[in-house]
Amino acid sequence: MRNLVVFSGSSHPQLSAQICQRIGAEPGKANLAKFSNNETRVEIFESVRGADVYIVQSGCGKVNDNLIELLVMIQACKTASARSVTAVIPCFPYSRQSDAPYKRSGAPLTSAPPITVPSTPKNNDFNPEYPFNPESGNSVEISDLSSKIHNLHMPNQSNGQSTQSGYKQWLARAGTLIANLMTCAGADHIITMDLHDSQFQGFFDCPVDNLRSMPLMTKYIQENIPNYHEAVIISPDAGGAKRATAIADKLSMDFALIHKERRHVEKPNKADMMLVGDVRDKVCILIDDIADTSFTITKAAKVLHDNGAVKIYAIITHAIMSGDAVERIQKSYLDEVIVSNTVPQDVHVQRCNKIKVFNVAPLFAEAIRRIHNGESVSMLFDADFQIA
């Protein structure tokens, strides 16, 4: 293909090489490094004047460094008179930020310990909560004092809960900021896969193609799971029910859902995971888009095991596997975890023999080929689409 240049960021060079091999193009030559003060350094070693440039960079690993590197590469290509710059981001950064903080174990932190507001000292008596007394000469470090003032005005309540003063703590979402940064850097087009929130596309002022991994998942199920027609597709939460039912309908399979029910009167923030459907003596296939801490899918696997499932698979698009997620999977009731390579998986595969990988490079390569040639990409979103 003429006037096409594909550059690889430092986050996932293996996927970039597979995409280039698929479309028959040589990877663009560039130097990606760091200055001594850790600022990002980008050098483009070939002409991109009048060319359509595609930059492959996944939002994984050192996410902030990779994001800045992508922005600098986009700006460098636009400054070098590229006709268009398309950011190919298999796993989009900052598209999913939890509504609630998490514990070290990966479990959602649904409540915070109550904050006791100290009473105001009287008659200048010494009070440990107000350690500064002009007459007694007591003093306190500025950092400690500022921390106490912060806790007094900003109690550590969970997201969405109001304090006694009426303040409702909220969690900042960076989606609009990331979209504006990419647009200002010069991105003319975005290609990504399985955004956690599809409404994220609306943050951009440029076209966004949100590819779907469903055709690759259905192909894997058909080719690698024996007697898959007798298995049950499971959604580990209500948010992924639409994705899981689409696969179940496509393959004419049964569907079940794991639901979080809050039924504790004395502990209203505690949720039980309950199974809606029948999985006894059946093979179960969990479908999810992101596995970060792996807390959800491992808990879901325990629920399925307790309800009589004989074998449990999990198919996941973005397997980030942060913290001790891999060890959690190794110790869980999951028999096999199939993940895509939108995120590098070599280390995960070496550490856990349950993890298998399916390749998304052909889908991204086909999207690049169609966009470059001015062809429609709508069929890539069809569940019936298959790539040879």
Q: What DSSP string runs through 285-346?
A: EEEEEEESS-HHHHHHHHHHHHTT-SEEEEEEEEE---TTHHHHHHTSS-SEEEEETTS--H
Answer yes or no: do 321 and 238 share one domain. Answer: yes
Which tokens go with 174? 């960076």
Task: Please tell me whether residues 224 and 199 are part of one structural domain.
Answer: no
Specify if 271 maps to a domain: yes
Q: Is 124 among the domain residues?
A: no
Statement to judge: residues 338 and 292 lie in one domain: yes
* Residue-range definition of the domain harbouring residue 340: 214-358
Residues 252 and 296 in one domain: yes
Domain final position from 211, 228, 263: 211
Say yes or no: 194 and 219 in one domain.
no
Asked if residue 122 belongs to a domain, the reply is no
> Are 211 and 228 spatial neighbours (Cβ–Cβ below 8 Å)?
no
Cβ-based neighbours of 377, under 8 Å, separated by 6 or more: 209, 367, 370, 371
Q: C-alpha dihedral over 90, 95, 98, 104, to 10 degrees?
A: 40
Report the b/e string of 110-140 with b at 16+ CB within 10 A: bebeeeeeeeeeeeeeeeeebeeeeeeeeee
Give the helix ranges, DSSP H, for the chain.
Answer: 13-23, 63-79, 142-153, 175-185, 214-224, 241-251, 295-306, 325-330, 346-351, 361-372
**CA distance to 218, 287, 307, 340, per residue, from 226 (Å):** 13, 17, 21, 20
Whether residue 206 is found in the same domain as residue 340: no
In a domain, 190, yes or no: yes
Q: Are strands 30-34 and 272-276 parallel, antiparallel or unpaired?
A: unpaired
**Total number of domains constituting the chain:** 2
Does 149 map to a domain?
no
**263 with 310, same domain?**
yes
Residues 205 and 221 in one domain: no
Together in a domain, 55 and 188: yes
Q: Is 165 part of a structural domain of the chain?
A: no
Q: Is residue 375 part of a domain?
A: no
The CATH number that applies at residue 252 is 3.40.50.2020
Residue 347 lies in a domain: yes
pLDDT tens per residue, the chain (388 residues)?
A: 788 999 999 999 999 999 999 999 999 999 999 999 999 999 999 999 999 999 999 998 899 999 999 999 999 999 999 999 999 999 999 887 644 454 444 454 544 444 444 555 555 444 444 444 444 444 444 445 445 444 544 444 444 444 555 665 666 778 788 989 999 999 999 999 998 877 778 888 899 999 999 999 999 999 999 999 999 999 998 888 888 999 999 999 999 999 876 555 455 455 678 898 999 999 999 999 999 999 989 999 999 999 999 999 999 999 999 989 999 999 999 999 999 999 999 999 999 999 999 999 999 999 999 999 999 888 887 766 667 6
197-226 b/e (C-beta count within 10 Å ≥ 16 → b): eeebbebbebebbbbbbbbbbbebbeeebe
Are 285 and 311 part of one and the same domain?
Answer: yes
Asked if 69 and 201 sit in the same domain, the reply is yes
Closest CA to 268 of 111, 116, 103: 111
- Cβ partners under 8 Å of residue 332, min gap 6: 294, 297, 298, 301, 302
Q: Are residues 58 and 88 in the same domain?
A: yes
Classified as helix, coil or strand, 130 is strand
